[in-house]
Amino acid sequence: MRISVGAAAGAGFFGALRVLAPGEAKAIAQTANLRWIFLVDTYKCVGCGMCVRACKLENEIPYDAPVTRTWVERYVVLKDGTLLADSPSGARDGFTNPNTMGRDVKPEEIKKAFFVPKLCNQCDKPPCVQVCPVGATYKTWDGIAMVDRKWCIGCGYCIMGCPYGVRFFHPVYNVAEKCNFCYHRIHKGLKPACEYACPFGARRIGNLKDPNDPVTKIILSERVSILKDEYGTVPVVYYLGLDEVVR
Amino acid sequence: MEQAIHAAEWTEKVLFTYPNEYIYWSIQIVMYPLLTGLVAGAFVLSSLYHVFGQKDLKDMARFALVFSFALLIAAPSPLILHLLQPQRGIYVFFTPHFTSAISAFGIVFFTYSVIVASEIWFVYRPYFVEQAKAPRREETFGSSLKRNLYRLLSLGAYDLGPAAMRQDEKAIKILAGVGIPVAAFLHGYAGFIFGSVKANALWMTPLMPVIFIMSAIVSGVALCMLTYIIIMEWKKMMAKRARRSRFAPDRATYEELKGAEIDLIRKTTRYLVLFLIIALTLELLDLVFRGYTAVKNWEILRQVIYGRDFTNIFIKQYLIGNIIPFALLLIPGLTIRRAVLALVLVIFGVFMMRYNVVIGGQSFSLTFYGFMEYKIPIIPHNYDTYKEGLLGALTTGGLPFLLFCILNRIFPSVPEVKAEERRY
Amino acid sequence: MSHVWRPVFVVLAVVAGILAARFFIVPPDFGTWETGYMYGWHKKSDENFWKDAFKVKHQGNDYCANCHPDKTTSLASAKHSILLCENCHGPAFEHPSEPPKLPAPRGREMCLRCHVKLPYPTSLRAEIPGFLDPEEHNPGMDCNMCHNPHSPNVTGPGKTKEVFRKAKYGSE
């Protein structure tokens, strides 16, 4: 039923001003039986880059474009204390060269080296969502931060606001873009493309509200870390085997 | 086939950076705070007369007001050029997400436009009425268009009696007074946009809005002074050619113009120097604090501030943009030539401040282990490299002047030096 | 009424104009906030786009087994059993109608992703057999000239190393 312009406008305007009290928001989160979390095992990641390739193909990010929803970083700590780190094309083609950061690394020089997959942390308190001026990015009730491609104005504030650098401008649609845990797959009972593609089980999605979920069990019982906790973003992507050199 | 990635073209990445990091906020985002700063500064200058009764600024006040309006209309142009979906820019007015500093743009910009437009209306109402009613020898299409325009602009308020004029004066005073905090907010929110981004180590500081406002006032005052000088020089040139005749007994002589000009410039300089000191003090305070507390991000910031960006910050901004003009303006016996040099350097310094904040904040990677360099596109080869390149900056930078020329035809604001005082 | 109020009417007219435009442009389902205004304010129908309109591309090995059981069986009993068909062949999407063919990329790049030896202590990568310098092993030749990717062991079928199976499937 069409309501009068005045009522609609007034409702819209005052609706915009209403801020949900923290208690109310918490209550909604607590009654939901689905809360996505993610576990990354950096001991298992071999740097093959199959996850990045699968993500690009699944989510229609142009393969040659130098942007990606997820990527893998390599860290090589040498015996003399030097840290080398790189992520060639986001590891879209894997790591096929021991040359890191322009340095030919010999096996005997290495103290420790490993790979760290990165993706959107779907923070509980996402600074990217907070700074969107038009409400084009938002958290769903099950905890995923999404981008509304039809509403984004392309200002880039959300990209500036993310401490993890997971956001970018989509080269074709010219709006903000980021990993959304393959929302279109997880709601059909499938795994995100990166988890699906990883041959070594380094990436796993889980449901925090399901006590029988193997990922939840690990997160609640084993030693896990998160990235950049000093920003207070409360990420839900947990890491096994994170090292102090990881950025 | 290399896909055209916005910003990849002008970003040069060094060492370890995240794959998606590029300098997304480039020259247009530098221009926007520059323009809103000039808006705020020009308006504050104008209000110094209307509110605080600084009689020595009377001539400057009306000119600064109209210039502020021209800048205001031009201010959204960098944003329109920057947005990847400019046609959706209007959504900021429709669905503002008030937890975002940018959403304040809708409210603040609109409010400020209303205040400036209203103040101009009150200041120029006698002129509108006069133009609407002035008898003309023959009515051409152009002159009837002009008459109708002024009829429209006067909003039908033809009463120019003393009571009505007193009401006008009161309204002007109120608007000028209310406008000062709103102008401060217009630029302060721009500072807040940067200062509240915790993800960016250089931007995040509570001092950012204050630094922005102070340097905004500096830039606004400097630009008004500079434009005023240019106009006066032109008038002086005209006065030199023409002699005072019985057809134009009011026309000021060259000597009178010169005297008025240097007098006003010397008085306005005092305010400029004051805000220059404040702006510089705040920036140095921020720098000293960061170095002293040396938190996690200090290592990379130090390399940017004292290393890669040393010339941009210490030579171009602080030395050439602040210290040198400061000295030039304080040395006694200020001449117009010295003033012009100092003012140009001041505006350059303010531009470099915005540049060093916006680009400087994106000069280092979120990894704190890599850098990005901004290579501004000079010759564009597509729309992207035009709008975010040098030509785009010149477009948005030149637009206010173009608009001022147009607005000046409707609201003549260039100060006249006449024998009798002009009533506002 | 004094003339000083006239600009106010102009302003009100502009505001009314903006609100009217808003009524037509902003979709009616904009403004839900199950997760609060700060983090949850959005257009509800966008969720449906991501759930329904956005198509699933990778289908899974079972999808391939329907028509290519020989390939999937040989892969399952080979050293490459932890790999998926779509890892090399790309997402099946609606194959065979779209795309009609799913060729795996020839050349060495696909194989080198894992089989360049990177002996990194603490990383599972160190366990994968490979070459420190791939150019030392039959340079210029494609890997699949001697190694069948579905059963890559040259001397015959082999089982995936225990450490890789445990990584992918857990200790089952």
Q: What is the tens place of the pLDDT at every residue in C99-120? A: 999 999 888 999 999 999 999 9
Identify the band that residue B416 occupies on the pLDDT scale cut at 50, 70 and 90. Answer: low
pLDDT at C34 over 80: no
pLDDT tens digit at each of 247 positions of chain A? 444 444 444 444 444 444 444 555 555 556 678 999 999 999 999 999 999 999 999 999 999 999 999 999 999 999 999 999 999 999 999 999 999 999 999 999 999 999 999 999 999 999 999 999 999 999 998 999 999 999 999 999 999 999 999 999 999 999 999 999 999 999 999 999 999 999 999 999 999 999 999 999 999 999 999 999 999 999 999 999 999 999 9
- Amino acid A30: pLDDT: 60
Are A199 and C168 in contact (CB < 8 Å)? Answer: yes
Rg (CA), chain B: 23
Q: Which of A2, A20, A115, A121 to mutate to test the interface with C (most CBs of C within 10 A)?
A: A20
- Amino acid B2: pLDDT: 39
Which of A7-21, B2-16, C28-42 shows the lowest mean pLDDT across its residues? A7-21
Give B-chain residues touching A171 at CB under 8 angstroms.
3-6
Identify the band that residue B420 occupies on the pLDDT scale cut at 50, 70 and 90. Answer: very low
Q: Give the whole-angstrom CA distance, residue B341 versus residue C78.
A: 79
Strand ranges inside B8-73, DSSP E: 11-15
Closest CB to A200: pick one of C37, C86, C167: C167
Give the residue from chain A lying closest to C80, CA to CA. A199
**Count of Cβ atoms closer than 10 Å to residue B1 Cβ:** 6
Q: Is A135 on the interface with C (CB under 8 A)?
A: yes
Residue C10 near residue B155 (C-beta atoms within 8 A):
yes
Which burial class, exposed, middle or buried, applies to B396 when counting CB atoms under 10 A from its CB (0-12, 13-18, 19+)?
buried
| Residue whose entry in the numeric block shows the structure tokens 């807040």 | B192
Here the ipTM equals 0.90
Closest CB to B84: pick one of A87, A127, A174: A174
**Per-residue three-class SS string for chain C:** CCHHHHHHHHHHHHHHHHHHHHHHHCCCCEEECCCCHHHHCEECHHHHHHHHHCCCCCCCHHHHHCCCHHHHHHHHCCCCCCCCHHHHHCCCCECCCECCCCCCCCCCHHHHHHHECCCCCCCHHHHCCCECCHHHCCCCCCHHHCCECCECCCCCCCCCCHHHHHHHHCCC
Does pTM top 0.95 for this prediction?
Answer: no
- Amino acid B27: pLDDT: 95
- Amino acid C171: pLDDT: 64
Give, in order, the Cα–Cα distances in Å from B404 to each of A124, B66, B153, B380.
48, 7, 18, 27
Q: Give the whole-angstrom CA distance, residue A202 versus residue C82.
A: 12
- Residue, of B212 and C31, whose pLDDT is higher: B212
Chains touching B, CB cut-off 8 Å, 3+ pairs: A, C
Residues of B with CB under 8 A from a CB of C: 90-91, 93-95, 97, 99, 114, 117-118, 121-122, 155-157, 159, 164, 167-168, 171
Residues 280-309 of B with CB under 8 A from A: 296
Name residues whose C-beta falls within 8 Å of residue B345's C-beta, 6 or more positions apart in sequence.
B320, B321, B324, B325, B328
Mean pLDDT for chain B overall: 87
| Residue whose entry in the numeric block shows the structure tokens 């070594």 | A200
Closest CB to B3: pick one of A135, A171, A232: A171
Shortest CA gap A133–chain C (Å): 11
Are A160 and B18 in contact (CB < 8 Å)? Answer: no
Strand ranges inside B7-105, DSSP E: 11-15
Are C38 and A129 in contact (CB < 8 Å)? Answer: yes
The residue-averaged pLDDT of B307-327 equals 95
Closest CB to B159: pick one of C3, C11, C21: C3
Q: Give the whole-angstrom CA distance, residue A137 versus residue B354.
A: 28
pLDDT at B224 over 70: yes
Name residues whose C-beta falls within 8 Å of residue A16's C-beta, 6 or more positions apart in sequence.
B95, B96, B98, C31
> What phi and psi values does residue B94 have, to the nearest 5 degrees?
-85, -45
- Amino acid A20: pLDDT: 43
CA angle centred on B138, ends B136 and B144, rounded to 5°: 75
Which of B372, B343, B349 is closest to B359 using CA atoms? B372
Hey, what domains does chain B have and what are their CATH numbers? 11-409 (1.20.1630.10)
- Amino acid B53: pLDDT: 66
Closest CB to C56: pick one of A24, A41, A185: A185
Residue B12 near residue B373 (C-beta atoms within 8 A):
yes
DSSP character at residue A192: P
Residue A168 near residue B20 (C-beta atoms within 8 A):
yes
Give A-chain residues touching B15 at CB under 8 angstroms.
101
